[in-house]
Amino acid sequence: MADPSDYNGLEIAVIGLACRFPGADNREQFWNNLKDGLESVTVFTDEELRREGVTAEFLSNENYVKAGAVLDRFEYFDERFFGYSPKDALVMDPQVRLFHEVAWESLEDAGYVPDTYPGLIGVFAGASSNYNWNARVYSYEGEHRDAFSEIQLSNKDFLASRISYKFNLKGPSMTITTACSTSLTAIHTACRSLLSGECDMAIAGGSSILIPHRSGYLYQEGHFLSKDGHIRAFDEQASGILFGNGTGAVVLKPLENALADKDHIWAVIKGSAVNNDGNRKAGYMAPSVEGQREVIESALQVSEVGPDSISYIETHGTGTQLGDTIEFTALQKVFHTRQSPCILGSVKNNIGHLDAASGVAGFMKAVLALKHRQIPPMVNFAKSNPLLEMEKYPFAINTKLLDWPLSPYPLRAGVSSFGVGG
């Protein structure tokens, strides 16, 4: 960590991590996959797709992409450990089930048991809309139904408060929804709550599980989905996104308190910022150069650090032509005065776009990279998109595992996440 003289009293320590991401049941597997440059995308057989209900019409369509970034054993859940009946667990949204597990594991990683912790623990998290799961639950016609309880169990909006109830946590409990930026916004909101004294420790993160789970999608020219089932952020062959599945949680505490309590500190959050584009863009779903530039500059200002001190940026990096171009333009407006290259990366190339969980996935990648002092290679990257003119600006993308470059500054990384709607 940096010299304590660099601290301004607003720093937040990351003291616990837990995740389920494609190809990784825990943070150790996740890091190993990242540093080894693995892409955790599965190509499905026709038989697998038929079992998920994919019709012969889709299977024979040459534009149907038979790929996805899936989780092993996502349907398993130890309901007794968390005090649920088998019936309740069956109805509960898988996103909520898995977040129970990573929230608990993140507390274990931090070394805390809720029942014995004397302070207030807050929960800040969000999940993706899960229309197919809700349709299954609401269409069930079994006997002795309790429709009100089923709605609560299957509704992702009760995610945070259900964790607080089951873990007996008495700090603020907020379900956050900002589309693709949900989980990073949850981390930002948790930091604000800690700094204001609303809670002493916080769990923050997000969850996104697609139902049906092992199925592909229909590629359409001009839309945002990848043509071949791969995300290639900032690459000349980028054709769009591939949705993935995952859930992640981090435990946060004010740095001063974490040091006093002798917690294991994974990384330190110097500052964060959030904003909205307003109408400064082509349409509601489009990103904005100025909106992204402003929020990055605000984060640097709050953190009291300059662009020169950031040596790695975990970008939003969706692999869409419009999204990559706008994000890169915003970055070069902020970092154009750098004297040495800043390295860019995107975890989406490895595990797909995790929607509500994508922010926490990128955040964890940055934290683990800082901890190990290594920057994982960017998979699916061969040549930069010529529209970016990357060679004119102080940025670089590594395709091999890289020891973190030395500089006059402490090791520092930025993490971006941008949601539909601004």
151: pLDDT strictly greater than 90: no
Of residues 8 and 109, which shows the higher confidence score? 109
Q: For residue 188, list its beta bridge partners.
A: none
pLDDT at 106: 98
Distance between CA 386 and CA 388 in Å, rounded? 5
- Indicate if the pLDDT at residue 278 is higher than 90: no
Cα separation, 139 vs 133, in Å, equals 10
The first and second tokens of residue 296, run together, are 């990055």
Residue 1 has pLDDT above 60, yes or no: no
The answer on pLDDT for 145 being more than 70 is: no
Percent of the chain with pLDDT over 70: 95
**CA gap 144, 150 in Å, rounded:** 12
pLDDT of 260 strictly over 80: yes
What is the percent of the chain where pLDDT is above 90? 80
d(CA 70, CA 243) in angstroms, rounded, equals 9
143 pLDDT band, cuts 50/70/90, is low
What are the extents of the domains in the chain?
4-415
DSSP string covering 29-56: HHHHHHHTT----EEPPHHHHHHTT--H
DSSP category for residue 355: G
DSSP state of 357: G
Half-sphere exposure for 120 (CA within 13 Å, toward CB): 13
Evaluate if residue 134 carries a pLDDT over 80.
Answer: no
CB 300 within 8 A of CB 309: no
190-201 average pLDDT score? 98
Query: Residue range 147-166: average pLDDT?
Result: 85
Residue 144 pLDDT exceeds 60: no
CA dist., res. 414 & res. 369, Å (int): 12
Q: What is the pLDDT of residue 228?
A: 94
The model's pTM: 0.94
Q: Mind listing the pLDDT tens digit for each residue in 85-95?
A: 998 888 899 99
pLDDT mean over 344-352: 98
**Which of the residues are catalytic?**
180, 316, 353
Maximal C-alpha separation, the chain: 69
Higher pLDDT: 172 or 149? It is 172
Average pLDDT on 35-58 reads: 94
- pLDDT-based confidence at 417, cuts 50/70/90? very high
pLDDT score, position 133: 73
Q: What is the mean pLDDT of the chain?
A: 92
CA distance 129 to 293: 29
**pLDDT score at 182:** 96
Least confident of 180-184, 279-283, 386-390: 279-283
pLDDT on residue 5:
57
| Strand 173-175 versus strand 121-127 pairing type | parallel
Amino acid 131: pLDDT: 72
pLDDT for residue 153: 78
Q: What's the pLDDT band for 407 if we cut at 50, 70, 90?
A: confident
- Residue 281: which of 239, 329, 353 has the closest Cα? 329
Is the pLDDT confidence value at 32 over 80? yes
pLDDT for residue 9: 85
Please, what is the Cα angle at 299 between 295 and 304, to 5 degrees?
A: 145
Intra-chain end-to-end CA distance of the chain, in Å: 33
- The strand ranges marked E within 263-421 are 267-269, 312-314, 342-345, 374-375, 395-396, 402-403, 413-415
* CATH (residue range 4-415): 3.40.47.10
Task: Average the pLDDT over each of 122-136, 198-212, 263-277 and give the range with the smallest value.
Answer: 122-136
Q: Which residue has the higher pLDDT, 139 or 3?
A: 139
The string of pLDDT tens digits covering residues 234-247 is: 999 999 999 999 99
